[in-house]
Amino acid sequence: MKLNNRQKENFKNNHKFIAETNTTNLNNNKSLRLEISRNSIYSFEEFNNMYLTSTLPVENHNFILKSVLKDENDNQNESSKNDNSNNSNNSENDQDSNDESTEVINASPHLGPEVDWRDPSLMNPIREQQSCGSCWAFSSIAALETRHAILNKELFKLSEQELIDCDTTNMGCDGGLPDKAFRWAMDHNLVMRDTCP
């Protein structure tokens, strides 16, 4: 690939930024490490214009947390009722059931206090959305895949393309919101990526 002068200058600036950031992080015992990618030939502004979509109105994200976690919380509440019927002084019974932060914190207690999200049994490799402004679909599918893997010990590869093409509550390659994608997924059977690549 032959680079024009602007791309060469962008690459030089990005390479310098990556090297400085990695040195600073290494010296401060931070684990973040940046690398050169195919996007290193773009300035921030160029990258922003190509890949980042316009700001969309933010909706009630608590809806999604409640919806995605509803089934597990229902199961936990049933289990908790059975466990607590023998012990009415259990402190968990004293928590306010309307406290959304409590609901989120207690949503996956079986994960423990620390999770290594690099564990290949919890998360599929990062996938490339190319120039399509579909980060909303990729992040939604990754979250659903990982959530399923945590609960069922089985990691699926679901189709981002199905969301991009079929979820009319979002705008395909022109942007979207994960909460809308979650809502859509709750009403539809998602297909595997090999069915709809």
Q: What integer is the mean pLDDT of 80-87?
A: 50
User: Radius of gyration over alpha carbons of the chain, in Å?
Assistant: 21
pLDDT at 172 > cutoff 50 = yes
pLDDT of residue 61: 43
pLDDT at 93 > cutoff 50 = no
pLDDT of residue 74: 52
CA distances in angstroms from 123 to 89, 110, 126, 142, 148, listed in the order given: 39, 17, 9, 7, 10
The closest of 144, 107, 96 to 122, measured between CA atoms, is: 144
Burial of 54 (0-12, 13-18, 19+ CB in 10 A): exposed
pLDDT of residue 111: 62
**Which residues on neighbouring strands pair with residue 133, listed in sequence order?**
174
Query: What are the residue ranges of helices labelled H in the chain?
Result: 5-27, 44-51, 61-84, 100-105, 135-152, 160-166, 178-187
Higher local confidence (pLDDT), 19 or 151? 19
The crossing angle, in degrees rounded to 10, of helices 135-152 and 61-84 is: 10
pLDDT at 11 > cutoff 90 = yes
pLDDT of residue 88: 45
pLDDT of residue 103: 36
The widest CA-to-CA distance across the chain, in whole angstroms, is 74
| CATH homologous superfamily, domain 61-187 | Cysteine proteinases (3.90.70.10)
- Range from 53-57, 59-63, 109-113 carrying the lowest mean pLDDT: 59-63
To the nearest whole number, what is the mean pLDDT of the chain?
76
- What is the residue extent of each domain of the chain? 5-51, 61-187
Q: What percent of the chain lies above the pLDDT cut of 70?
A: 68
Q: What integer is the mean pLDDT of 153-157?
A: 91
Q: 149 near 111, Cβ under 8 Å?
A: no
- Range from 28-42, 43-57, 123-137, 138-152 carrying the lowest mean pLDDT: 43-57
Q: Is residue 68 helix, strand or coil?
A: helix
Q: 37 near 18, Cβ under 8 Å?
A: no
Q: 163 near 135, Cβ under 8 Å?
A: no
pLDDT of residue 109: 53
Higher local confidence (pLDDT), 36 or 75? 36
Higher local confidence (pLDDT), 30 or 108? 30
